[in-house]
């Protein structure tokens, strides 16, 4: 196994690429989807089952873990991998985005962000230096720079000011991270929907130098057309030989469109969160298992899916356990949704390797356009 962090691209198809991110804790096949393990668990899933769906890497949330159980505690307990029984790579976010989205009482300064915990009101001070320290204490393999991003729409002045601050914080994050062989630090491009700001941000980050580059500040309410508009140029502004990570994306069709535009890594709560609310994400689009049409339906959710929910249970059963609020309902649909996402990523990787991405994407959209099977 590799002792250092590296990225190797094995094939290109148009702007899309497939390859391997190597880390001392294992390889990550790209394009990759990272399930979200917010509070040291992918909700409703055992870690070995997450692995069985095909996940090479998980995402952990710095904000949640620093509040509970605490970064120093996790460090003293042997680190996040041991704590949650996942020995493969983990990427952690910087905490910045969630401080902005989950806390009401906060104060943003050049130094960082002061905020009160949404759990017990305790005051915290999160800075680029403290974010690097927390992610080191957790034992994260891929560490994200501490950044700030405005909700969209925002005016150009606000977006520029925020991007400039994030670039100063990127330098401070780089300095605080230091030299840690085998661990990676990713910079985060900002600039909203403004091409010139995105270019300036990419240049600033490349000058500092990172192991990978994220495209931040998207999937914050701008819509798919606007997001794809940015992805038509943003990945090409970043170094071609480093992994590119689109944060917080997305729906299956968002991911497919972003892979076509040159993105390598993704994370999103959608498949796990939807699984807990009765929504299945399938080749034929979203299916709401809580709908009464499934009440007497003995057919599987997807006859071509090999996950436990589709192999061993009927739509009628999945409907029943979701209506009854039974825990197995969350378990089965989360498993199915993560299985579907990983199967989609494998399909994208295979198609890029074979130079067949356009045909794969056409089939993807044609299957979705058919919609769900007719009711009984």
Which one, of 334, 346, 343, 317, lies nearest residue 280 by Cα?
334
Inter-residue contact 269 to 45 (CB < 8 Å): no
Buried/exposed 105-123: b ≥16 CB within 10 Å, e otherwise? eeeeeeebbbbebeeeeee
Binding to Zn ion (CB under 5 A) within 4-23 occurs at none
What long-range pairs does 360-369 form, CB within 8 A, spacing at least 24?
A: 361/256, 361/260, 364/252, 364/253, 364/256, 364/283, 365/253, 367/283, 367/284, 368/252, 368/253, 368/283, 368/284, 368/285
Kindly state the number of chain residues that form the binding site for Zn ion, as judged by CB under 5 A. 5
93, 141, 264, 297: the active-site residue: 93
In angstroms, rounded to a whole number, what is the distance separating the alpha carbons of residues 262 and 267?
15
Q: Is 267 a catalytic residue?
A: yes
Task: Give the shortest CB-298-to-Zn ion separation in angstroms.
Answer: 16
Nearest distance in Å: CB 280, Zn ion? 8
Establish whether 358 is a catalytic residue: no
Q: Would you say 64 or 339 has its CB closer to Zn ion?
A: 339
Binding-site annotation, residues for substrate: 93-97, 147, 190, 217
State the minimum distance, in angstroms, from the CB of residue 43 to Zn ion.
18
The residue from 258, 307, 357, 361 that contacts Zn ion (CB under 5 A) is 307
Residue 344 binds to Zn ion (criterion: CB under 5 A): no
Nearer to Zn ion, 289 or 310 (CB): 310
In the list 336, 337, 341, 352, the residue contacting Zn ion (rule: CB under 5 A) is: 336
Nearest-angstrom CA–CA distance, 273 and 275:
5
Which range of residues in 59-67, 178-186, 243-251, 300-308 is near Zn ion by CB under 5 A? 300-308
| Residue 310 binds Zn ion (CB under 5 A) | yes
- Asked if 331 interacts with Zn ion (CB under 5 A), we say no
Pick 47 or 300: Cβ nearer Zn ion: 300
Q: Which is nearer to Zn ion, 169 or 335 (CB)?
A: 335
Site membership for Zn ion, residue 84 (CB under 5 A): no
DSSP state of 153: S
Q: Does 65 bind Zn ion (CB under 5 A)?
A: no
- On whether the CB atoms of residues 341 and 364 are closer than 8 A, the answer is no
Taking the complex as a whole, the smallest distance from the CB of residue 146 to Zn ion amounts, in Å, to 38
In whole angstroms, give the CA distance from residue 151 to residue 91.
23
Minimal distance, residue 304 CB to Zn ion, in Å: 9
What is the rounded CA–CA span in Å between residue 341 and residue 283? 10
Burial class, 24, CB count within 10 angstroms (exposed 0-12 / middle 13-18 / buried 19+)? middle
Instruction: Tell me the window of 81-89, 101-109, 221-229, 330-338 that interacts with Zn ion (CB under 5 A).
Output: 330-338
Residue 315 touches Zn ion, criterion: CB under 5 A: no
The partner residues of 88 in beta bridges, in order of sequence, read: none
Here the tokens at position 195 are 């091409």
305 binds Zn ion (CB under 5 A): yes
Helix (H, G, I), strand (E, B) or coil at 40: coil
> Which region among 90-98, 144-152, 232-240, 310-318 touches Zn ion (by CB under 5 A)?
310-318
Pick 124 or 340: Cβ nearer Zn ion: 340
Nearest approach, Cβ of residue 282 and Zn ion (Å): 7
* Nearest approach, Cβ of residue 33 and Zn ion (Å): 16
* CB closer to Zn ion out of 123 and 326: 326
User: What tokens does 156 get?
Assistant: 């150009």
User: How far apart are alpha carbons 345 and 339 in whole angstroms?
Assistant: 10
* 280 touches Zn ion by CB under 5 A: no
Q: Which is nearer to Zn ion, 256 or 309 (CB)?
A: 309
Among the listed ranges 246-254, 304-312, 352-360, 361-369, the one in contact with Zn ion (CB under 5 A) is 304-312
Quick count: other Cβ atoms within 10 Å of Cβ 9?
A: 16
Say how far residue 214 (Cα) sits from the centre of its chain. 11
In the complex, the residues that contact Zn ion under the rule CB under 5 A are 305, 307, 309-310, 336
The catalytic residue positions are 93, 267
């Amino acid at each position: 196994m590799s002792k250092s962090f590296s990225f190797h691209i094995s094939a290109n198809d148009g702007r899309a690429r497939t390859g391997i991110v190597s880390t001392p804790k294992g390889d990550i096949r790209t394009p990759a989807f990272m399930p979200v393990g917010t509070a040291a668990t992918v909700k409703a899933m055992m870690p070995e089952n997450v692995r069985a769906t095909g996940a090479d890497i998980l995402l952990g949330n710095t904000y949640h873990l620093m509040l509970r159980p605490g970064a120093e505690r996790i460090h003293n307990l042997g680190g996040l991998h041991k704590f949650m029984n996942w020995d493969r790579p983990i990427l952690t976010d910087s905490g910045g985005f969630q401080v902005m989205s989950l806390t009401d009482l906060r104060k943003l300064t050049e130094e960082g962000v002061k905020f009160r915990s949404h759990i017990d009101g305790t005051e915290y001070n999160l800075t680029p230096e403290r974010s690097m320290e927390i992610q080191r204490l957790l034992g994260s393999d891929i560490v994200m720079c501490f950044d700030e991003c405005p909700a969209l729409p925002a005016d150009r002045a606000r977006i520029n000011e925020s991007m400039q601050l994030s670039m100063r914080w990127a330098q401070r994050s780089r300095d605080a991270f230091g030299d840690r062989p085998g661990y990676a630090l990713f910079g985060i491009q900002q600039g909203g929907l403004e091409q010139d700001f995105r270019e300036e941000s990419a240049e600033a980050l490349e000058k500092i130098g990172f192991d990978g580059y994220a495209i931040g500040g998207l999937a914050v309410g701008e819509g798919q057309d606007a997001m794809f508009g940015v992805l038509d140029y943003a990945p090409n502004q970043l170094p071609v030989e480093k992994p590119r990570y689109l944060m917080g994306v997305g729906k299956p069709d968002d991911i497919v469109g972003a892979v076509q535009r040159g993105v390598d890594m993704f994370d999103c709560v959608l498949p796990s969160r939807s699984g807990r609310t009765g929504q299945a994400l399938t080749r034929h689009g979203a299916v709401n298992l809580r709908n009464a049409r499934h009440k007497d339906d003995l057919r599987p959710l997807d006859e071509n899916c090999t996950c436990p929910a589709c192999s061993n249970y009927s739509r009628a059963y999945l409907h029943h356990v979701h209506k009854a609020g039974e825990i197995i309902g969350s378990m089965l649909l989360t498993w199915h949704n993560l299985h579907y996402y990983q199967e989609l990523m494998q399909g994208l990787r295979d198609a890029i390797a074979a130079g067949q991405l356009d045909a794969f994407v056409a089939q993807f959209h044609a299957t979705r356009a058919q919609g769900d099977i007719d009711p009984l």
